[in-house]
């Protein structure tokens, strides 16, 4: 084989690698909102906590009788702000217990009559983080089953981060 076909083959392989790298760079990172997106059914209600008034809320979790029910993640989006998330449980369309993931850190909470109550007791805080970690794992499993691998991995990482808060 002459040198010219070898050089052409090497050049072709190099271009293939460059194109593959560019395509990979264009894919959304696991923590991009687009990679996490999973549309909430239009008939699945979730009451917003007081701090989330005037925002768009998305529920990544099960619904029963038209209301958020069980373990999941609520995402609040407002123009010009980083999305805030609540990892935890909902019952009859009301948030129950879990952890807010806010720009300034985590805030464990439970809800009474629709209002968030800050937790101060160590055992309650640990329980809220366990609930939050479990909710992230369940969302990850549902996304993986739906073929949304990047988002599933991102929520699995969230589950690990939440679980590590209990150490």
Whether residue 108 has pLDDT greater than 90: yes
- Supply the pLDDT for residue 142: 96
The answer to whether residue 113 is domain-embedded is yes
The answer to whether residue 15 is domain-embedded is no
Whether residue 17 has pLDDT greater than 60: no
The answer to whether residue 10 is domain-embedded is no
The answer to whether residue 25 is domain-embedded is no
The answer to whether residue 20 is domain-embedded is no
Structural domain of 115: 31-164
Digit-coded pLDDT (tens) for 154-164: 999 999 999 99
For residue 105, what pLDDT band results from cuts at 50, 70 and 90? very high
Percent of the chain clearing pLDDT 70 (strictly above): 74
Radius of gyration in angstroms for the set of CA atoms belonging to the chain, rounded to a whole number: 21
Number of domains in the chain: 1
- Rounded to 10 degrees, the C-alpha dihedral 51/54/55/61 comes to 70
The answer to whether residue 52 is domain-embedded is yes
Whether residue 37 has pLDDT greater than 50: no
Digit-coded pLDDT (tens) for 54-90: 899 999 999 999 999 999 999 999 888 888 999 999 9
Please tell me whether residue 167 adopts helix, strand or coil conformation.
Answer: coil
Could you please report the per-residue DSSP string of 52-77? GTTSEEEEES-EETTEE-EEEEEEEE
């Amino acid at each position: 084989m002459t040198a010219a076909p070898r050089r052409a083959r090497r050049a072709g392989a190099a271009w293939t690698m460059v194109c593959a790298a560019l395509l990979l760079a264009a894919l959304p990172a696991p923590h991009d909102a687009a990679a996490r997106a999973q549309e909430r059914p239009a008939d699945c209600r979730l009451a917003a906590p007081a701090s989330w008034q005037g925002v768009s809320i998305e529920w990544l979790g099960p619904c029963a009788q038209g209301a958020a029910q069980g373990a999941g993640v609520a995402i609040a989006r407002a123009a010009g702000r980083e999305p805030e998330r609540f990892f935890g449980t909902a019952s009859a369309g009301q948030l129950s217990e879990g952890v807010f993931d806010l720009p300034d850190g985590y805030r464990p909470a439970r809800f009474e009559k629709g209002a968030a109550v800050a937790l101060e007791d160590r055992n309650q805080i640990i329980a809220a983080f366990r609930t939050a970690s479990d909710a992230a794992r369940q969302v990850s499993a549902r996304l993986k089953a739906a073929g949304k691998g990047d988002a599933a991995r991102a929520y699995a990482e969230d589950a690990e981060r939440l679980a590590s808060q209990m150490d």
